[in-house]
Amino acid sequence: MWKPPERIKYTPLSDDWPTREQAARSLLFSPVQVGAMTLEQRTWVPAMVPWRASDDGFVTEEVLDWYGRFARGRPGAIVVEATGIRDVPSGPLLRIGHDRFLPGLRQLVERVRQESGGHTRLLIQIIDFLGIRRRPERSKYLERFLQVNDRHRQALGDPALSDDAVRERLLALDDDQLQQVLSEREWESLTMGQRERVTDTHLPHIAELPLVLPELFASAAQRARDAGFDGVELHYAHAYTMASFLSATNTREDGYGGPLENRLRLPLEVFAAVRERVGREFPVGCRFLSEECIEGGNTLEDSTRIGVALAQAGMDYLSLSRGGKFDDAKQPKVGEAAYPYTGVSGFECMPGYIADEFGPFGRNVEPTAAIRSAIRGAGLAIPVVVAGGIHTFTQAETLLAEEKADIIGIARQALADPDWFEKVRSGCGGQVRMCEYTNYCEGLDQKHKQVTCNLWDRLELDEPGVRRSRDNKRRLTAPEWRRE
């Protein structure tokens, strides 16, 4: 994780937690309408991938435990992690690209309903992503992966060289010389790992994305509805396909890139296909970025226009994140893949406790407020969810009172203490285990290890029924709250 050069260290915020009566009168614990769905309170656990699905993308007992544990804290809504819409192998990421995934997803819905006593609404985030490879060994890349062409021969000054001879000559070059011979993309594939982009329209499967994605998203949304979810979230944020279409870096020339109205075209077509399939009664929203936080990426001005367009199209809610891009990711080690939360944009997405003078708390609030205000200015009333470094009642209540957002996303704080919602609601806010924004959890995510929080993953390990991580060292869910 990138850290700002100021390296100012922050400790968790303290709060005058409300009494039960104050909580009952608060905005945070008041209901809100999201399309056809009512949330009992304005609290929301945004999507977080915990790496608990089976290797072929099915719901496991560990997935059930994970969401069941959040449900016992009874937040207004939980959004299930980014779940793949295609029927292709994608490691232990949850999938919804075929009907065979339905029984597991139904169990998940049932578990959350039971554990929350029916108080928590459950949505699922659906995602498409493009191919990314691990960073190769230099020799392997030059001997096997690089597609030799005449540009290389020319750069080496001998048009008659065989492919093997080109490879041999390239292997003998030092890095500076090699960078002169390889194209920018080849150099990137060698030093970062090969990564597809939506602008790679010379590749047929990328060119045809606008043809295939509406149907893929619509079928996935239909499965979400069939499995009993209360709604679906289209993942238009961070480093993935739909965010890349929206991005100012999208220069496709087929009517789906360039000016903003073209970049919006596929996201709107996907939404139209989803809406047509699931109907008006099934809540559909999306998550997108208030700012991309990369050079040449979407600014708040772009995102404001995007927000208004998505609201006008009839989305039931908009959830704002920020950053989280591949474009400024750190170089991975050989054998590892780039991770989109390691650069400045990653810090903006999941700000850590080592920060700049602004600190890790509420960095996404003002941009979200600006987008919400433009949506209201356009005469649209849809709820807006904000997330990013929010972990006290006062933070949440103040920004609701100031009409900066309508629903409060609490991700890592809910991971640190899934009972945050019940504790605060019942006047026991002083017992909350406060997130320290160390990003230990995010480090596990980066390594595709089962995500836990260091504040609780070694506690009461020997209690009966405690499920442990693969290395047997950590518990996989937070200990139960014993009311003091």
Ligand X SMILES: Cc1cc2nc3c(=O)[nH]c(=O)nc-3n(C[C@H](O)[C@H](O)[C@H](O)COP(=O)(O)O)c2cc1C
Residue ranges binding ligand SF4 (CB under 6 A): 412, 415-416, 435-441, 453-455
Q: Which of ligand X, ligand SF4, none lies near 75, with the C-beta cut-off 5 to 8 A by kind? A: none
Radius of gyration of the chain (CA): 23
CB of 252 to ligand X, least distance (A): 24
Which residue lies nearer to ligand SF4 by CB, 250 or 446? Answer: 446
CB of 435 to ligand SF4, least distance (A): 3
Give the footprint of ligand X on this chain (CB under 6 A). 46-49, 81-82, 125, 237, 287, 321, 349-350, 387-390, 409-413, 441-442, 445, 451
Q: Which of ligand X, ligand SF4, none lies near 455, with the C-beta cut-off 5 to 8 A by kind? A: ligand SF4
3-state secondary structure of 475: strand
Cα–Cα distance measured from residue 380 to residue 426, given in angstroms and rounded to the nearest whole number: 34
CB of 235 to ligand X, least distance (A): 6
Phi, psi (rounded to 5 degrees) for 228: 100, 5
Q: Which of ligand SF4, ligand X, none lies near 125, with the C-beta cut-off 5 to 8 A by kind? A: ligand X
CB of 287 to ligand X, least distance (A): 5
Which residue lies nearer to ligand SF4 by CB, 254 or 358? Answer: 358
Which residue lies nearer to ligand X by CB, 178 or 224? Answer: 224
Q: Beta-carbon neighbour count of residue 373 at 10 Å?
A: 15
CB of 3 to ligand SF4, least distance (A): 14
**165: nearest Cα among 176, 152, 175, 178:** 152
Q: Which of ligand X, ligand SF4, none lies near 436, with the C-beta cut-off 5 to 8 A by kind? A: ligand SF4
Q: Copy the structure tokens of residue 467.
A: 């499920």
Q: Which of ligand X, ligand SF4, none lies near 454, with the C-beta cut-off 5 to 8 A by kind? A: ligand SF4
Identify any residues that bridge with 284 across adjacent strands, giving them in sequence order.
Answer: 232
Which residue lies nearer to ligand X by CB, 167 or 363? Answer: 363
Cα–Cα distance measured from residue 478 to residue 418, given in angstroms and rounded to the nearest whole number: 7
CB of 50 to ligand SF4, least distance (A): 11
Q: Which of ligand X, ligand SF4, none lies near 387, with the C-beta cut-off 5 to 8 A by kind? A: ligand X
Cα–Cα distance measured from residue 474 to residue 457, given in angstroms and rounded to the nearest whole number: 5
Q: Which of ligand X, ligand SF4, none lies near 438, with the C-beta cut-off 5 to 8 A by kind? A: ligand SF4
Amino acid at 404: K
Amino acid at 221: A
Q: Which of ligand SF4, ligand X, none lies near 372, with the C-beta cut-off 5 to 8 A by kind? A: none
What is the number of H-type helices and E-type strands within the chain? 20, 12
379: left (phi over 0), alpha (psi -120 to 50) or beta: left
Which residue lies nearer to ligand SF4 by CB, 225 or 474? Answer: 474
Which residue lies nearer to ligand X by CB, 93 or 192? Answer: 93
Which residue lies nearer to ligand SF4 by CB, 309 or 410? Answer: 410
CB of 315 to ligand SF4, least distance (A): 29
Cα–Cα distance measured from residue 67 to residue 81, given in angstroms and rounded to the nearest whole number: 10
Query: 105: buried, middle or exposed (CB in 10 Å: 19+, 13-18, 0-12)?
Result: buried
Cα–Cα distance measured from residue 271 to residue 125, given in angstroms and rounded to the nearest whole number: 13
Cα–Cα distance measured from residue 349 to residue 325, given in angstroms and rounded to the nearest whole number: 9
